[in-house]
Copies of this chain bind each other. A is one copy, B any other.
Amino acid sequence: MASNTTGEIFKITTFGASHGTALGAIIDGCPAGLELSKEDIQLELKKRRPGTSNITTPRDEKDQVEILSGIFDGKTDGTPITAIVRNKDQRSKNYDNLINNPRPGHGDLCWQKKFGHYDYRGGGRGSGRITIGHVIGGAVSKKILEKYNITVTAHVISIHNITTEKKYSLDQIKENITKNNVRCADIEKAKEMEERILQAKNEGNSVGGIVEIIIDNIPLGLGQPVFDKLDGDLAKALMNIGAVKGVEVGLGFESAALTGKEFNDQYFLENDKIVTKTNNCGGILGGMSNGMPVILRIAVKPTPSVSGIQKTVNLVNNKESTIEIEGRHDPCICPRITTVAESACSMVVVDHMIRAGFIHPDKI
């Protein structure tokens, strides 16, 4: 059944597959009057696109976007914004040996049982390439958030066994992550991380990592109690990104080992604004933003496409078999997942701003 739409009022529907004609997204519910150009979207796609460094897949996709609808005289017009990217550098032959032998760690087997087939050409719609749709939605969302000075920043804090320890200001993070391929604020550690990823690549292996997302300047009172909590929706949006195996808010799993007296963030006044000095709750209480920055972290598993022989089961003769995966893959998805995570969170925040009456639903 339909499951390619996200959002309640501000809705994004995405489409397309790894080796189809085109991928894209429709943003429905964007208020009229927002300045938006092809370049705004292209800029975000560029951050996500492969082939830009030696630690990403060598698949070379320029990911040129075309806007088909929703813009009139340089502004959104309140109708659905449709943007597409055509696939160019497809090499489907790489995948032929995978027919009927589902890859471990991928959704192949699940697709087969569910839909009666799976797209052996790079995973089809199970591919990470579909996050082009997320990023298109994120680009529009970020343009909206810009008007409210809200920023969403994702940065890598851990790759395999290498973890940043230093604390950086948000401004430093924003600046530093543009200076290395890993999108890590700690430039020294970034080098180590890059080397660790290259090593994995050379070994035909892959590595996981952790990405932190900071939503800054978010208004107090976003999120709906009970079943549409801000943290619930953010957790879903992030967990829906392929390869994400965990989501935490504020101190997250660390909270479990604390007492209430240690954990509680007490209230103070700062320039007449109610603030907390600690932010253990990660900016969310009772499912609603409390005005402090929202802090999330996601656990990213190592890319499942690794070299070497792996055990599987042949779906035609129902016997155990083996496969060897070729094709082009990312040895670590963390650097590229940052843009996708920013997009996912941006879309949730915009949706909740409209839902909570901070943004008018029809015009901006």
A residues in contact (CB < 8 Å) with B:
1-7, 9-11, 13-17, 20-24, 26, 28-29, 32-33, 66-70, 72, 77-82, 84, 102, 104-111, 113-117, 119, 123-126, 130, 158, 160-161, 200, 205-210, 220-221, 223-229, 231-240, 242, 245-269, 272, 274, 276, 281-282, 285-290, 299-306, 308, 310-313, 318-320, 354-357, 360-363
Contacts and interface: CB of A to CB of B under 8 A. Distances in A.
A107 B285 contact: yes
Q: Please state the number of chain copies in the assembly.
A: 4
Given A124-B77, A285-B107, A239 B245 contact: no
Q: Which 8 A-B pairs have the closest CB atoms?
A: A107-B286, A2-B29, A3-B224, A246-B248, A110-B288, A206-B260, A236-B236, A3-B228
29 contacts: A1-B361, A2-B10, A15-B82, A21-B67, A22-B68, A24-B69, A26-B26, A72-B117, A77-B125, A78-B115, A104-B276, A110-B289, A114-B288, A116-B362, A206-B261, A235-B238, A242-B286, A245-B250, A245-B252, A255-B300, A255-B301, A256-B299, A260-B302, A263-B302, A266-B310, A266-B312, A355-B361, A356-B362, A357-B362
Determine which residue in A126, A263, A268 has the highest number of CB atoms from chain B within 10 A of its CB, and name it: A263
A119 B6 CA distance: 28
Given A231-B239, A261-B205, A266-B311, A114 B356 contact: yes
A147 B307 CA distance: 42
A316 to B, nearest CB: 13
Nearest to A206: B260
Determine which residue in A115, A226, A228, A254 has the highest number of CB atoms from chain B within 10 A of its CB, and name it: A226
B107 A13 contact: no
Determine which residue in A33, A235, A360 has the highest number of CB atoms from chain B within 10 A of its CB, and name it: A235
